């Protein structure tokens, strides 16, 4: 399924178009994606959503942040998890510290309540990645990560995870199998058809459910 056929998103310096410019055309596009996600969530049991792309540089982090804002504006409690343990970016969007985060929870050093950030956007919380570990694959594939995703479902309506690119690293394939669904972001003029096809096959091999594809421009 392709969400809204080919939904066109343009990058801007300010990542939160849906919050600061709610009446803009681009904010409308994010709202359209949010509406489609809501439909999928009501149709099937979809609460944890991973957003990934075939390769780096496809704009997935900006896109998922705006989707999270759009969902929060619909009076749903949202948790953003930066599970990109190699090149995390979400803490920069929210101007928060990344000293502690997901890696501390997965290693047992801290609890979720100690590291989660309550952002300026009502109902939207952020779990940043924390310090970059030496063993990201081991942490993301751990029993604790699986238990964490089950636990946060009790407190949040929607959990959205940022991840590494799909093709070159094993991290995302492990994580995809733990989530209820996956959104694949491809970039117009950059992502090759072969890469997109390979990414789709990898998700199928991981037995992940592909919710849709978003074309980013």
Least confident of 43-47, 114-118, 206-210: 43-47
Contact in structure between 80 and 51 (CB atoms under 8 Å): no
CATH number given to 17-216: 3.40.50.300
pLDDT at 125 over 90: yes
- What radius of gyration, in Å, describes the C-alpha atoms of the chain? 16
59 or 102, which is more confident: 102
| One-character DSSP codes across 156-217 | -SEEEEE---TTT-SHHHHHHTTSSEEEEEEETTTS-HHHHHHHHHHHHHTT--EEEEEEE-
Least confident of 21-25, 73-77, 107-111: 21-25
Q: In this structure, how many other beta carbons lie within 10 angstroms of the beta carbon of residue 43? A: 8
Rounded percentage of the chain residues whose pLDDT exceeds 70 = 79
Rounded percentage of the chain residues whose pLDDT exceeds 90 = 47
15 or 128, which is more confident: 128
The confidence band for 123, taking pLDDT boundaries of 50, 70 and 90, is very high
| One-character DSSP codes across 134-159 | S-HHHHHTSHHHHHHHHHHTTT-SEE
Q: Which pLDDT score is estimated for 4?
A: 39
pLDDT at 190 over 50: yes
Domain boundaries along the sequence of the chain: 17-216
Using DSSP, state whether 5 is helix, strand or coil: coil
The confidence band for 24, taking pLDDT boundaries of 50, 70 and 90, is low
Supply the angle between the helices 60-72 and 25-43 in degrees, to the nearest 10. 70
Residues 139-157 have a mean pLDDT of 95
pLDDT at 29 over 80: no
Could you read off the pLDDT of 78-99 as tens digits, one per residue? 999 999 999 999 999 888 999 9
Q: Indicate the average pLDDT of the chain.
A: 83
Of the candidates 182, 146, 143, the one whose C-alpha atom is nearest the C-alpha of residue 50 is: 182
């Amino acid at each position: 399924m392709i969400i809204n056929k080919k939904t066109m998103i343009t990058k801007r310096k300010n990542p939160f178009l849906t919050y600061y410019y709610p009446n803009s055309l681009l904010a409308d596009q994010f709202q359209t994606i949010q509406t489609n996600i809501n439909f999928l969530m009501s149709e099937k049991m979809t609460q944890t959503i991973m957003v990934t792309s075939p390769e780096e540089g496809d704009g997935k982090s900006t896109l998922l942040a705006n989707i999270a804002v759009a969902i929060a504006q619909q009076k749903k409690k949202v948790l953003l998890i930066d599970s990109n343990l190699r090149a995390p970016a979400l803490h920069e969007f929210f101007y928060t510290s990344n000293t502690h985060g997901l890696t501390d929870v997965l290693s047992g050093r801290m609890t979720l309540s100690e590291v989660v950030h309550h952002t300026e956007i009502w109902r939207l919380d952020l779990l940043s990645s924390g310090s970059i570990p030496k063993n990201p694959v081991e942490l993301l594939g751990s029993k604790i990560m699986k238990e964490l995703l089950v636990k946060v479902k009790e407190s949040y309506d929607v959990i959205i995870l940022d991840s590494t690119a799909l093709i070159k690293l094993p991290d995302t394939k492990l994580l995809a199998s733990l989530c209820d669904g996956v959104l694949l972001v491809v970039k117009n003029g950059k992502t090759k058809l072969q890469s997109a096809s390979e990414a789709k096959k990898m998700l199928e091999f991981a037995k992940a459910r592909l919710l849709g594809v978003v074309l980013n421009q």
